[in-house]
Amino acid sequence: MSEKLAPTDIHERFKDRPTDFGIKVVMMGDGAVGKTSLVLRYTQNTFSPEYKQSLGASFAVQDLEIKQQKVKLVIWDVAGQPSFRQVRRHYYSGAHGALLVFDVSEPSSFMTLWNWYNDFRRIVPQGAVILIGNKVDLTEKRMVPSEAAHMLQRWWNIPYIETSAATAIGVTNAFLRLANQALDRAFAQRQMRNNSEAP
């Protein structure tokens, strides 16, 4: 599959084939870092500069072809404001991966990454996680340098991708990278299940 294909084109090309894998991923990170905006940019190629705080959770679905498998990617967009902390954990269960998002113009959203990461790892120890530095279009207001994110990336041994939901830079790449790694996870789980069911 070419990474240059828009998600909607991929959807059109493979819509008549049955799904081989259902993959669940979740959006994580503080309120206002751009989780909803990233999902809307990826699935609908739209962007709004207004902030409409998410309440609870919603999901978007994207059909993809990865490694000759037809994959249904279900993206759970969970509210990042602290009042939703208890609710959010319910959505982590059964996830194959997560996009862990901070805002490069808001250092406090970088400082809380440990909490997000640990909360997710407690529930999904083996899931794929990709670290995302969002809003890189705000070059004048940027406060968190790439080096700081690279430090965390090395510590956790996960990919780091810089994105802008406003300009679309890095967005498709981030979701496809996550879908690829999450598919590996789902595949391993299926193998384990098959092995344990074998006589």
Ligand X SMILES: Nc1nc2c(ncn2[C@@H]2O[C@H](COP(=O)(O)OP(=O)(O)OP(=O)(O)O)[C@@H](O)[C@H]2O)c(=O)[nH]1
Please report, as ranges, the residues that interact with ligand X according to CB under 6 A: 31-37, 48-54, 79-81, 134-135, 137-138, 164-166
Distance (Å, rounded) from C-alpha 150 to C-alpha 139? 18
Within 10 angstroms of residue 37's Cβ, the number of other Cβ atoms is 25
Residue 55 C-beta: closest distance to Mg ion, Å: 9
Distance (Å, rounded) from C-alpha 41 to C-alpha 163? 11
User: Residue from 54, 109, 134, 180 that binds Mg ion (CB under 5 A)?
Assistant: 54
51 binding partner (options Mg ion, ligand X, none; Cβ < 5 to 8 Å by kind): ligand X
* 36 near Mg ion, judged by CB under 5 A: yes
15 binding partner (options Mg ion, ligand X, none; Cβ < 5 to 8 Å by kind): none
95 binding partner (options ligand X, Mg ion, none; Cβ < 5 to 8 Å by kind): none
Nearest residue (CB) to ligand X, 53 versus 115? 53
DSSP H helical ranges for 30-170: 35-44, 85-92, 107-111, 113-123, 146-156
Residue 12 C-beta: closest distance to ligand X, Å: 26
Cα 196 to the chain's mean position, in Å?
30
State the number of CA atoms in the 13 A half-sphere of 39 facing the CB.
Answer: 25
Contact residues toward Mg ion (CB under 5 A) are 35-36, 54
